[in-house]
Structure formats: structure tokens, C-alpha cells
Amino acid sequence: MTMETIESRQDGNITDSVAERESAHMHTQTGQNSIPTLAQLPQVTSPTTALPQGVVMAASPGSLHSPQQLAEEATRKGELRLMENREAARECHRKKKEYVKCLENRVAVLENQNKTLIEELKALKDLYCHKAE
DNA sequence: AAAGTGGATCGTCATGTAGG
DNA sequence: CCTACATGACGATCCACTTT
């Protein structure tokens, strides 16, 4: 792992608040038959998409000439790409987690339905047997 | 108390895909 | 094509819990 990674790592505190947000959202997700696909899950556009400190907008491309300027531009682009992908990964992880929760929810619902149907079937069988006697 | 372990979260890289 | 975005895979780190 790079130094940049280590320095930019965050404590679990942030994830705690995210978990809270997600569980709050879950309670509104009680629709039975429609499990959205991963791609259909809602985007949460966080306000953190602003450029981080230290990432400076480039001058217009036409003003870059020297090798040094080109190198700086390349570095800047690399940093920008990393930052954007970091955001994308966060969002992707969040969506995946939500998707799994949806699936788990669905499993619970189906298990309940199954249980109910089994009981219903048993009751009907009993009824039928008694009538047959 | 220290070491070990498992789960959760995050960041990075590689790759696929859609839109311009 | 090129670019931006989404996502799977993977490794690093943290944290809570258990074992020694």
C-alpha cells in the first residue's frame, strides 16, 4: 500500500454514520417483489465531490508547454482520477451493501411466506382427513 | 496481556460499458 | 476512438472478540 493510501485512510467513524444512513433507508424498503438491481439502486450524491485540498485546477491545456508543466499536468490528472475513483468506489460499495441487504430482506419475507403456506397446507390436510373419516 | 481470528470498510487497479 | 463512470478483485487496515 502506498503512503498516500495510509495517510488518506479514515477511521471507522465515518462508516458508522453511513451505516446509520443505510439502515434508516432500509426501513423504507419494504416492497416485496421488487428487488432493484445494483444498477437501479439510488445514487447518493455526497457533497464531497469538491476538489480536495491540494488539488488545483489546471491551467487551460493550451498554456502548457514545458516538460515540467506537462509532468505536473499528468500528475494532477492522475490525482484527480484517483480521487474520482475513490468516490466512485465508495458509492459502489454502498450500493452493493444495500443490494445485499435487500436480498436478505427478500429472503426473510419468502421464508415467512413459505412457513405460512406450509402451515396452511397442513391445516387443509387435517381438515380433509377428518372429513374423509 | 499478547496473539490470533473473522468481519467490515476502504482505496487502488484493471476492465467493461455507454455516450459523445 | 476517447472519456467518464461502474464494478469486481484484491490487499491493507481497523476493530471486536476469542484463545492461549
Q: Does the CB of A103 fall within 7 Å of any strand C atom?
A: no
| pLDDT the model gives residue A69 | 81
Nucleotide B5 C1' to residue A15 CA (A): 22
> How high is the pLDDT of residue A73?
83
Cα angle A97-A99-A100, degrees, rounded to a multiple of 5: 65
pLDDT at res. A85? 95
Sequence-ordered list of residues with C-beta below 8 angstroms from that of A90, at least 6 positions apart, any chain: A46
At residue A98, the pLDDT reads: 93
Q: What is the pLDDT of residue A1?
A: 34
Using DSSP's 3-state secondary structure scheme, residue A59 falls into: coil
The cell for A11 is 477511521
Nucleotide nearest to A81 (CA to C1'): C4
CA distance A126 to A109: 26
Q: Would you say the C-beta of A95 is within 7 Å of strand C?
A: yes
**pLDDT < 50 positions in chain A:** 1-33, 45-62
pLDDT (0 to 100) of residue A95: 95
Coil, helix or strand at residue A8 = helix
Q: Name residues 26-65 of chain A with a Cβ under 7 Å from nucleic strand C.
A: 38-39, 43
Q: For A54, left (φ over 0), alpha (ψ -120 to 50), or beta? A: left
pLDDT score at A64: 55
CA dihedral A42, A48, A51, A52 (to 10 degrees): -140
For C3, nearest residue by CA–C1' is A81
Q: State, as a whole number of angstroms, the distance between the CA of A11 and the C1' of C10.
A: 21
Q: Is the pTM of this model over 0.75?
A: no
- Spatial contact of A117 and A41, defined as CB atoms under 8 Å apart: no
